Amino acid sequence: MSLSLLIFLPLIGFLFNGFYHLKMARSEQKSSAMISGVIATGVMFAAFLVACTYYYMLSQLPADGRLFEQTLFQWMKLGGLNVSFALRLDSLSSLFVLIITGVGSLIHLYSIGYMSEDETPAKYFSFLNLFCFMMLNLVLGSNLPHVFLGWEGVGLASYLLIGYWYQDKDKVLAGQKAFIMNRIGDLGFLIAMFIAYKFVGSLDLIDLQKATLTPHVTTVFGLLIFFACTGKSAQIPLFTWLPDAMAGPTPVSALIHAATMVTSGIYLLTRLSPIIEASNTVLTVIGMVGVTTAFVAALMACAQTDIKKILAYSTISQLGFMFLACGVGSFESGVFHVMTHAFFKALLFLGAGSVIHALHEEQNIFKMGALRAKLPITSITFIAGWAAILGLPPFSGFFSKDEILWQSLSSPHGNVMLFIIAAASAFLTAFYMTRLLVLVFFGKSRVDPAKQKHIHEAPMTMAIPLMVLGVLSLVGGWFGEHHEHSGQEMMVMAASVILAGLGAGIAYQKYKNFEGEEKTNQFLMSGMGVDLAYLSVFAKGTGTLSKWFTTYVEEMIVQRTLRWSTAVVGLSGNLFRVVQVGSTQAYLMMILIAIVAIMAWVFLGVGQYGKL
């Protein structure tokens, strides 16, 4: 067994399904969701088993030597730069690999049911496998270029899957938006990589962790890396793509835009934590951005009416919590929250998918209600996810979220302000999640009568992942490292549980007998107009600038110069052609003249070197 199995298994799935799709598309047949789905799920589950084995093997090693490494080939060698294509598994990447393959295989399984009526399931599964391949490269890569390969690769897969239903123009645009916003962040990654090479001389992650840099370089490097993370992990200022990314199939939202890809920013920060921690400026920026995102996104989530958009803003908000953890220097609690969040947010998304599936693509929560009886499995598991995200003991979110809240107050980099905003966000989280839960599963039914009688519980392939994730959402928090709780910490815990209860209670009171549609705040609903601002400032600004360049620089200077120079060249071409008369006598004459001229030049001292 070797580490490369981890990345090759999804790759095999990708290639199989890719060729399967092409073959079927060529003969204009529909590919089978069962065949492609079983293959795709099978390779992911096999990868999960491999990951489990490695997790066990890793835990058997002494604590300071927990590392497996495998070099596959030398990737590039240019001057002093020597980049090998090597996989490296330590405790951090091992956790991420478990999440990717574990949650990944559950979502693959779920997709078999969800995509059963799709036209091109093999294409879908090949993209999904490609995503897992790239994501595993991201977390297993031993150097920055390798991480960047995965970083770009997951961006590509995400783009392909958001715009998967490409006949719908809005979905295509959403895919492009995600890609472009991510590319902006990538600029930070690239420049950070250049800086690392310039000042460290190596791009290997272990070398980078050990490197000592001057304070300025550390700050710039850290900020650039963080900027890259704001793109991939949807933080302020680059968060606007994630709500739109909900255009993709719901399992995609669960896997890529909740559980794995969007957390790669946390992975990168944690991986480079020695450099990040070395600069207080960077930590402060990360903490501030994280907590602001958590609060603002939670606020926006309260005003959404689309079930997936609520979950999308919720994801942004939860990612904000994770960045807050990183920002106060408690990377391990950030990663812990990545894990619990992967369980409960994937569960919530899949539950939402099940609801949408049951109601035939209905996504407005004001056209749902009282679904608890008709969708028993979905509603029970959804309630587990709700309890987890609220942070109710003993559900998983309780452990990770309270750890973050406690760290934001007590860590050397934390302060009261961070804590208060974070606690307010937790309160809002409870509010919007309860609003969602009550409007969808309780109260009176506001479902379109035409759809009323077709409501059906999800098939087994969809129900099993829900149940597994439900259990994980319940017990996932117990995997964390436990320590003695001080009295102060107990108070923080109690306060957060009370806040969550309060938020939930208010929402329950407000929405339990709700009828009709709520008039929500348009400003919050549209993401505080950030999209509009970007559009008018950057898109329009660039447009104006390029128009200016077209009219003045291009037309007046470039084109004019070009026209003149081509005219001169063309003219001289025609001029030289004049001597090309075609008559042999004339040619002979010219040869003779040339010979005489050369002789005269050489021997009569016309040349610059004088008479010989």
Partner 1 sequence: MSELEPAYPWIAFSMGILITMLVSVVRIDTKRPAQIFALLTLVVTLFLSMSVNVETPQSLFNGVFEISALTTTALSLLCGLGIFFIIGTSRYLTKEEIHLSDYYHLLLILILGASVLICSKDLLVTFIALEVMSLPAYTLAGFRRNDSRSNEAAIKYFILGGVVGAVFLLGASFIFGATGTTHLSEIYTWSQKAQGDLTLFYMGHILILISFLFKVAAVPFHFWKPDVYEGSPTSVTGIMATVMSTASFVVLARILHIADFKSPELAPYFETLKQLIRVAAVLSLIIGSAIVITQTNLKRMLAYSSISHTGYVLLGLLGSMNQPDLIYSVWIYLFGYSLMTCGLFVLVSQSEPKLDAGVELIDLTGLMKKQPFNVVMWSLFLFSMAGMPFTIGFFTKYFVFISSVNTGEVFYVVIAALCAVVSAYAYLRPIALMVMRDADPSAAEWKGSVASHSVVAVSAAIVFALGVMPNALIHLLKGIPLQH
Q: Does 580 bind partner 1 (CB under 8 A)?
A: yes
Tokens 């961006």 label which residue?
155
CA–CA separation, 602 and 612 (whole Å): 8
Identity of the residue, 535 or 599, whose beta carbon is nearer to partner 1 in the bound complex: 599
For partner 1, the binding residue among 488, 570, 600, 604 (CB under 8 A) is 570
Contact residues for 505 (Cβ-Cβ < 8 A; gap 6+): none
CA–CA separation, 96 and 67 (whole Å): 14
Question: DSSP code of 485?
Answer: P
| Region binding partner 1 by CB under 8 A among candidate stretches 19-27, 155-163, 302-310, 582-590 | 582-590
Q: Does 584 bind partner 1 (CB under 8 A)?
A: yes
**Residue 79 CB, nearest distance to partner 1 (Å)?**
17
Contact 466, 350 (CB under 8 A): yes
Contact residues for 342 (Cβ-Cβ < 8 A; gap 6+): 99, 103, 258, 259, 260, 263
Q: Is residue 40 packed enough to be buried (19+ CB in 10 Å), middle (13-18) or exposed (0-12)?
A: buried
Structure tokens, 470: 């439900």
**Residue 585 CB, nearest distance to partner 1 (Å)?**
9
Q: How far is CA 468 from CA 110, 183, 317, 411, 429, in A?
A: 11, 35, 25, 35, 24
- % helix, strand, coil for the chain, step of 5: 75, 5, 20
Question: In the stretch 222-261, what mask flags binding to partner 1 with x, by CB under 8 A?
Answer: ----------------------------------------
| Region binding partner 1 by CB under 8 A among candidate stretches 65-73, 246-254, 358-366, 594-602 | 594-602
Identity of the residue, 61 or 599, whose beta carbon is nearer to partner 1 in the bound complex: 599
Identity of the residue, 214 or 608, whose beta carbon is nearer to partner 1 in the bound complex: 608
If DSSP states are collapsed to H, E and C, what string results for 581-607? CCCHHHHHHHHHHHHHHHHHHHHCCCC
Identity of the residue, 502 or 591, whose beta carbon is nearer to partner 1 in the bound complex: 591
For partner 1, the binding residue among 539, 599, 600, 604 (CB under 8 A) is 599
Identity of the residue, 60 or 584, whose beta carbon is nearer to partner 1 in the bound complex: 584
CA angle (571, 573, 578) in 5-degree steps = 95
Residue 328's nearest CA partner among 376, 282, 375 is 282
**Residue 558 CB, nearest distance to partner 1 (Å)?**
15
**Residue 597 CB, nearest distance to partner 1 (Å)?**
8
Q: Does 214 bind partner 1 (CB under 8 A)?
A: no
CA–CA separation, 313 and 240 (whole Å): 10
Q: Does 482 bind partner 1 (CB under 8 A)?
A: no
Q: Does 77 bind partner 1 (CB under 8 A)?
A: no
Q: Does 579 bind partner 1 (CB under 8 A)?
A: yes
Q: Does 478 bind partner 1 (CB under 8 A)?
A: no
Q: Does 588 bind partner 1 (CB under 8 A)?
A: yes
**Residue 577 CB, nearest distance to partner 1 (Å)?**
6
Residue 146's nearest CA partner among 91, 189, 113, 112 is 189
Q: Does 65 bind partner 1 (CB under 8 A)?
A: no
Identity of the residue, 460 or 589, whose beta carbon is nearer to partner 1 in the bound complex: 589
Residues in the chain: 612
Chain centroid to CA 2: how far? 27
Q: Does 587 bind partner 1 (CB under 8 A)?
A: yes
Contact 221, 213 (CB under 8 A): yes
Q: Does 78 bind partner 1 (CB under 8 A)?
A: no
Q: Does 535 bind partner 1 (CB under 8 A)?
A: no
DSSP code per residue over 9-45: HHHHHHHHHHHHHHHHHHTT-PPPHHHHHHHHHHHHH
**Residue 574 CB, nearest distance to partner 1 (Å)?**
6
**Residue 602 CB, nearest distance to partner 1 (Å)?**
6
Q: For residue 344, which amino acid is it?
A: F
Question: In the stretch 429-458, what mask flags binding to partner 1 with x, by CB under 8 A?
Answer: ------------------------------
For partner 1, the binding residue among 190, 535, 594, 600 (CB under 8 A) is 594
| Region binding partner 1 by CB under 8 A among candidate stretches 44-52, 117-125, 494-502, 575-583 | 575-583
Contact 121, 46 (CB under 8 A): no
Q: Does 609 bind partner 1 (CB under 8 A)?
A: yes
Output the CA torsion 249→255→259→264 (10° steps): -110
User: 3-class SS at 89?
Assistant: strand
Q: Does 603 bind partner 1 (CB under 8 A)?
A: yes
For partner 1, the binding residue among 376, 393, 529, 607 (CB under 8 A) is 607
If DSSP states are collapsed to H, E and C, what string results for 238-287? CCCHHHHHHHCCHHHHHHHHHHCHHHHHHHHHHHCHHHHHCCHHHHHHHH
| Region binding partner 1 by CB under 8 A among candidate stretches 82-90, 219-227, 544-552, 581-589 | 581-589
Q: For residue 170, which amino acid is it?
A: D
**Residue 219 CB, nearest distance to partner 1 (Å)?**
39
**Residue 363 CB, nearest distance to partner 1 (Å)?**
45
CA–CA separation, 366 and 306 (whole Å): 9
Residue 320 half-sphere exposure, CB side, CA atoms within 13 Å? Answer: 32
Which ranges of 359-411 does DSSP label H, i.e. alpha helix? 376-390, 396-410
| Region binding partner 1 by CB under 8 A among candidate stretches 22-30, 81-89, 283-291, 603-611 | 603-611
Kindly state the number of chain residues that form the binding site for partner 1, as judged by CB under 8 A. Answer: 27
Q: Does 29 bind partner 1 (CB under 8 A)?
A: no
Q: Does 590 bind partner 1 (CB under 8 A)?
A: yes
**Residue 25 CB, nearest distance to partner 1 (Å)?**
21
For partner 1, the binding residue among 494, 535, 591, 600 (CB under 8 A) is 591
Identity of the residue, 167 or 580, whose beta carbon is nearer to partner 1 in the bound complex: 580
**Residue 605 CB, nearest distance to partner 1 (Å)?**
10
Identity of the residue, 63 or 78, whose beta carbon is nearer to partner 1 in the bound complex: 78
**Residue 584 CB, nearest distance to partner 1 (Å)?**
5
Q: Which residues bind partner 1 (CB under 8 A)?
A: 569-570, 572-574, 576-577, 579-580, 582, 584, 587-588, 590-591, 594-595, 598-599, 601-603, 607-610, 612
